[in-house]
Chains A and B, each alone.
Chain A
Amino acid sequence: METGVKLTKLASCAGCGAKVGAGTLASMLEGFRTHKDPRLLVGYDKSDDACVYQLDESTALVQTTDFFPPIVDDPFLYGQIAAANALSDVYAMGGEPRLALNILCLPEQMEEDTVRELLRGGYDKVYEAGAVIAGGHTIHGAEPIYGLAVTGFVDPRRMLTNSAARPGDALILTKPLGIGVLTTAAKADLVPEPVLRRIHRQMAALNRATRDVMVRHDVHSCTDVTGFGLLGHSLEMAQGSGCTLRIRTADVPFHPEAWELADMGFLPAGAYRNRDYAECGVEAGAVSRTMQDLLYDPQTSGGLLLALPMEEAADCLRELRAAAPEAAFIGCVTERGENWIVLE
């Protein structure tokens, strides 16, 4: 459904590109008093996708929230994408979402039908995920915002943090990059309709099936690739794990149409923030500026980045491709070297 007022025109930045830079957040939260609770297995200090709180030996609570301004003009699709993106953090921990709360901000001029379509998109994805929307909170504001707070469960013995990659692991990325560039160029009407349909389908796709494959394998570490881009999230995995990630850029899947558009300067501001944050940990070698731009490009509802033993990787990838056909090996994990990330 297209509406009278273009949703993306109501927002100053799109989707996960609106995310505040990682470095900014870390320094703002320094020095606050917090309780120590041994049952909080994963908290803020870990820079992970969601927090994990142990309830008993085999059950832990997984909690996360994610919301952003419109990334597309169709309200139903926007709702679907925002929900898929919020649910993804639970999948990235190896968990299953059970409850969700709507987080909604509406400008006065948004029509009732538009709001209804937006919410229908959210409910549609939460239903597909097997979870329930149990409530929420709505306010008026200058720009539309939609997302979810999600609660799920995981067996704490099988939870997947972003800080447990081991030397010798293979790296798999499950969705192609370029979403930030393409959604930015779409504002200039430079993205053909079939390409838009392809990226819309990708952003609305749950990472559920990927999670279901992942938990059948001995995956060591996982994170979802969203606002900080592949290199921002890879840096968190490398630092958290105390290892170096080597990424073979020729093998990194991306939407081919994003290449020339990145070269033409259709990069979201978030791509530059991600570069500023992560660049000091990246040895870029002879990798072209355009390729680097795509590696720093903020993704909305992106894929998962997995680290798992090399000998399991081929089987896992074959199974993953049923759900995520463009999943690919993109590199490996080594002992910590001079840089956290090496691009080849």
Chain B
Amino acid sequence: MNIIDARGLSCPEPVILLRRAMASGEASYQILVDNHASRENTTRYAQHQGYQVSVTEAGGVYTLTFTK
């Protein structure tokens, strides 16, 4: 699995990183973000690319898993 650590980054950086990673077209990705806007924006991007999204939260860090 492709894991992207986008903690400490604000928008649009996490989406840019995700977009760059998803260019390789793999079946699953994971991204770590630590703010609400980044969680929502990366979710929107992944859905737009046709991925299913699941989210877990621990200690203010959201782990988003995208699968096709």
**B2 at interface, CB cutoff 8 A:** no
Q: Binding site of A, secondary structure by majority: helix, strand, loop or mixed? A: loop
Tell me the chain A residues, 218-271 only, with Cβ under 8 Å from chain B: 262-269, 271
Tell me whether A163 is interfacial, beta carbon within 8 Å: no
B33-56: contact bitstring with A at CB < 8 Å (1 yes, 0 no)? 001110011111100100000000
Number of interface residues of B (CB under 8 A): 16
User: How far, in angstroms, from A13 to B37 measured CA to CA in the complex?
Assistant: 13
Task: Give residues 5-45 of B contacting A (CB, 8 Å).
Answer: 10-12, 15-16, 19, 35-37, 40-45
Report how far A184 CA is from B15 CA in the complex, Å: 11
Chain A interface extent, by class: 10 to 19
Tell me, in angstroms, the Cα distance from A272 to B15 when the chains sit together: 15
Give A185 to B12 CA distance when docked, in angstroms. 7
Contacts of B40 in A (CB 8 A): 265, 267, 272
Given contacts A12-B10, A13-B10, A184-B11, contact A265 B16 (CB under 8 A): no
Q: How far is the CB of B59 from chain A (nearest CB, A)?
A: 20
Across the interface, do A267 and B37 meet the contact criterion of CB distance under 8 Å?
yes
- A: residues with CB less than 8 A from B are 12-13, 184-185, 187-188, 262-269, 271-272
The 8 A-B pairs at the shortest CB distance, nearest first, are namely A265-B44, A265-B41, A265-B45, A269-B37, A272-B37, A188-B16, A264-B48, A265-B15
- Chain B interface (Cβ < 8 Å from any Cβ of A): 10-12, 15-16, 19, 35-37, 40-45, 48
